[in-house]
Structure 1
Amino acid sequence: MLPELFMTAVDFTTLPVRPEAFTIPAFTLAGSDWGPFSLRWYSLAYIAGIAGAWVLLTRMIRPPGAPLNQTQLDDYITWATLGVIGGGRLGYVIFYNPAQYLADPISILRLWDGGMSFHGGCFGVIAACFLHGWFAKFSGLRLLDYVATVTPLGLGLGRLANFVNGELWGRPTGSDWGIIFPEAGPEPRHPSQLYEAGLEGGVLFLLLTFLFWRTGARLRPGLLSGVFGLGYGLSRTIVENYREPDRQLGILDTGLTMGQTLSLPLIAAALLLLAVALLRKPVVA
């Protein structure tokens, strides 16, 4: 028998979660008022995702056959950070809300107001891999394989932060089950942020980690990137059926959401990468 929690609606405001990890109260210093200052879980998710990826990658490049050394990896983290933030922000501006930002271009820089796109951030990370590989004289595709393996860590943390913020909620469940989000009306809704955290984060991370350490996938350029792209694209396409479409876009004329539309070329590219990776001979460790 399912616990009662999973049978009835839960009021989000009763959950022990808040957007702020901690807050420094307002204070007076040198005759001036300062604060309050808050650090939000969403910001911490980005920091923890990047730091966690660096820790994992540091361990992953130790076995023979790694495409780069520690110094090159340390340099790459700067490239990746710029790619994630710059690509994520520009992707959101271009794909999700161009009219608003054309009317007020300076608001593009106000990252603290929210608005990031995974697909834009993904493109930024891919560009960072190949640019860094080109300048440092190593395979950008092989670096992308390593980065793809740890990316679900940041994805999972980001989706959990979305849930804590009470944003990007799901569609109405049509029953008494679900979560009532304070800004989404009185209907119980799917906690689609948690669905995404589980699929894009947990399941994909475990799968890629297994392939990296327990098989020869890391020696087949493009294979791990292909698995990631296919896994993310399919997960996002499925969960979009339970996630409320962006208000300014709704369901597109094609019958798909923007998230599903942007996932289609990702899935196609992933299938191509997988085919090429499996046809080529593996690199020598």
Structure 2
Amino acid sequence: MPLFVLPFPAIDPVLIEVGPLAVRWYALAYIAGILLGWRYMRRLVANERLWARTPHPSPLDIDDFVIWATLGIILGGRIGYVLFYNLAYFLSNPAEILAIWSGGMSFHGGFLGVVAAMVLFSWRRGLSVLTLFDLAGATAPIGLFFGRIANFINGELWGRASDVPWAMVFPGAGPEPRHPSQLYEAALEGIVLFLVVRLVTHRFGGLARPGLTAGVFAAGYGLARSFVELFRMPDAHIGFLAGGLTMGILLSVPMIVAGLALAIWALRRPPAREAAAEGDNR
């Protein structure tokens, strides 16, 4: 055990409690991520310079889409957690499936839920689904940051035992100091990935090449998550898989492959302004 161990900042997961009503940091994290993501997405669609001549949703479309995306995040995240991480428990306790306020959300499930929402919304509105993918990829790191901070406050999803100077003893995780892997994820999946995707959209014309921003986000998230999984403790009821892999890595590999393939495909296509110019000259 290291000579010095950082104390875990014991923050009450419940911010305010009035009778049966409890406002939890976990719920506030989702609300903050969705609201800030919505505002940022509106700014992106209002900035015509980023789009060149690429058709894209209007701010009013974004106002409607955020409702669809919210349902996709919540339903997909919870269903994904139930199916991927603790199916046996929830089959025995079906009433607990709806208890999302107690925690237990899967990013990969939420990702699939948002994908389903985008496909349906783009079909209903006659919009490009790739453009919606790009907008979601540009804003998703905001929600990921707040979600991982909420995981840290809840003292859940802690890391593996370690002797690094910043290791912490988490409540319920035994006496061993551990990696604060939630903060690693907040930094990589939230801050670093947001800056990378923003660079793609603002400096490399990502939104004028439909699919590029979404591909960079998917591959970037998969790489960041896979890296942090080397420090994060797998769920106790799942443990390590064959070859020392974890469920998080297993679910991230398809995102890396699909993200890279989408980004390469988008880069090989001409930018929207060139494609439009060719069409005007015919």
Q: Same fold (TM over 0.5)?
A: yes
Deviations 1:58-94 (A, max 9, x none): 1111123451112211111111011000100111111
Whichever residue aligns with residue 34 of structure 2, its letter is I
* Structure 1 residues 181 and 276, CA gap change in structure 2 (3 angstroms): same
Question: Scaled by the length of structure 1, what TM-score is found?
Answer: 0.90
Q: Is it true that 1:20 corresponds to 2:14 in the alignment?
A: yes
Structure 2, unaligned runs of 5 or more = 49-53, 277-282
For the residues of structure 2 that align with 1:159 and 1:68, how far apart are their CA atoms?
29
Q: Is it true that 1:139 corresponds to 2:139 in the alignment?
A: no
1:267 to 245, 256, 260: 256
The residue aligned with 1:216 is 205
Q: Is it true that 1:41 corresponds to 2:37 in the alignment?
A: no
Q: Is it true that 1:171 corresponds to 2:160 in the alignment?
A: yes
Deviations 1:88-109 (A, max 9, x none): 0111111101111112223211
Q: Is it true that 1:196 corresponds to 2:185 in the alignment?
A: yes
1:70 to 44, 50, 59: 59
* Structure 1 residues 66 and 195, CA gap change in structure 2 (3 angstroms): farther
Identity rate, percent: 50
1:277 to 263, 266, 281: 266
2:39 to 43, 55, 58: 55
Structure with greater helix share of residues: 2
8 Å contact from structure 2 (residues 26, 103) kept in 1: no
The residue aligned with 2:51 is none
For the residues of structure 1 that align with 2:263 and 2:199, how far apart are their CA atoms?
17
Q: Alpha-carbon deviation of 1:7?
A: 7.3
Whichever residue aligns with residue 9 of structure 1, its letter is V
Q: What SS does the corresponding residue of 2:242 show, helix, strand or coil? A: coil
For the residues of structure 2 that align with 1:165 and 1:83, how far apart are their CA atoms?
23
For the residues of structure 2 that align with 1:99 and 1:273, how far apart are their CA atoms?
35
For the residues of structure 2 that align with 1:131 and 1:282, how far apart are their CA atoms?
26
Question: Scaled by the length of structure 2, what TM-score is found?
Answer: 0.91
Which moves more between the two structures, 148-157 or 172-181?
172-181
The residue aligned with 1:89 is 78
Q: What SS does the corresponding residue of 1:178 show, helix, strand or coil? A: coil
Q: What SS does the corresponding residue of 2:168 show, helix, strand or coil? A: strand
Q: Alpha-carbon deviation of 1:175?
A: 5.6
The residue aligned with 1:9 is 5
Structure 1, unaligned runs of 5 or more = 1-5, 25-34
Q: Alpha-carbon deviation of 1:182?
A: 1.4
* Structure 1 residues 181 and 139, CA gap change in structure 2 (3 angstroms): same
For the residues of structure 1 that align with 2:10 and 2:99, how far apart are their CA atoms?
28
8 Å contact from structure 1 (residues 200, 236) kept in 2: yes
